[in-house]
Structure 1
Amino acid sequence: MKNAIINNLNRFDRALTLTLEWICIVLFAAITLILSLNIFVRFVPLMSMHWFDEILELLYGALIFYGAAAVWVTHSHFSVGDWISKYLKSVRARFIYRLIIELLSLAFALIFAKYALDLTMQTEEQTTAFAMSKKWLYACMPITGAIMILYSLKNMYIELAKIVNPALEIDTGREELNH
Structure 2
Amino acid sequence: METVKKLLDRILSTICVGLFGALVVLVTWQVFTRFVLNNPSTFSEELAKYCFVWLVLFGAAFVFGENGHMRIEFIQDALPKKLKIGVQIFIELCIIAFSALVLLSGGLTITKLAWVQMSAALHIPVGYLYAVMPICGVIVIFYCIYNIYYILKHKKPLEIV
Fold-level similarity (TM above 0.5): yes
Asked if 1:121 corresponds to 2:112, the answer is yes
Which aligned pairs between 1:67-146 and structure 2 lie closer than 5 A? Answer: 67-81=59-73, 83-89=74-80, 91-112=81-102, 113-123=104-114, 124-146=116-138
Letter in 1 for 2:60: A
Which runs of no fewer than 5 residues in structure 2 stay unpaired? none
* Pair 33,86 (structure 1): closer, same or farther in 2 beyond 3 Å: closer
| Letter matched to residue 19 of structure 1 | I
- TM-superposed CA distance for 1:10, in Å, is 1.9
How far does residue 92 in structure 1 lie from its aligned partner after superposition? 2.3
Alignment of 1:14-29 (within 5 A): 14-29=6-21
Deviation at 1:48, TM superposition (A): 4.4
Could you state the TM-score of these two structures normalised by the residue count of structure 2?
A: 0.86
Larger Rg: 1
CA contact (8 A) 1:62 1:140 kept: yes
Report the 3-state secondary structure (helix = DSSP H, G, I; strand = E; otherwise coil) of the residue aligned with 2:70: coil
Question: Is the contact between residue 34 and residue 40 of structure 2 (CA under 8 Å) also seen in structure 1?
Answer: no
1:43 pairs with one of 35, 40, 47: 35
Q: Percent identity at matched positions? A: 26
Match of 2:140 in 1: 148
Provide the alpha-carbon RMSD of the alignment. Answer: 2.3
Count of residues paired in the alignment: 159
Residue 30 of structure 1 corresponds to: 22
Query: What TM-score results when the alignment is normalised by the length of structure 1?
Result: 0.78
Task: Check whether the contact 1:96–1:159 (CA below 8 A) recurs between aligned residues.
Answer: no
The Cα of 1:122 is off from its aligned counterpart by 2.0
- Give how far 1:49 is off: 0.8
2:64 touches 2:140 (CA, 8 Å); kept in 1?
yes
Per the alignment, residue 4 of structure 1 pairs with none
The question of whether the paired residues in 1 share the 8 Å contact of 2:47 and 2:122 is answered with no
Contact 1:106 1:149 in 2 (8 A): yes
Q: CA separation of 1:38/1:160 partners in 2, compared to 1, >3 Å: closer, same or farther?
A: same
Please report how far the alpha carbon of residue 141 of structure 1 lies from its aligned counterpart in structure 2 after TM superposition.
0.9
2:111 aligned partner, one-letter code: T
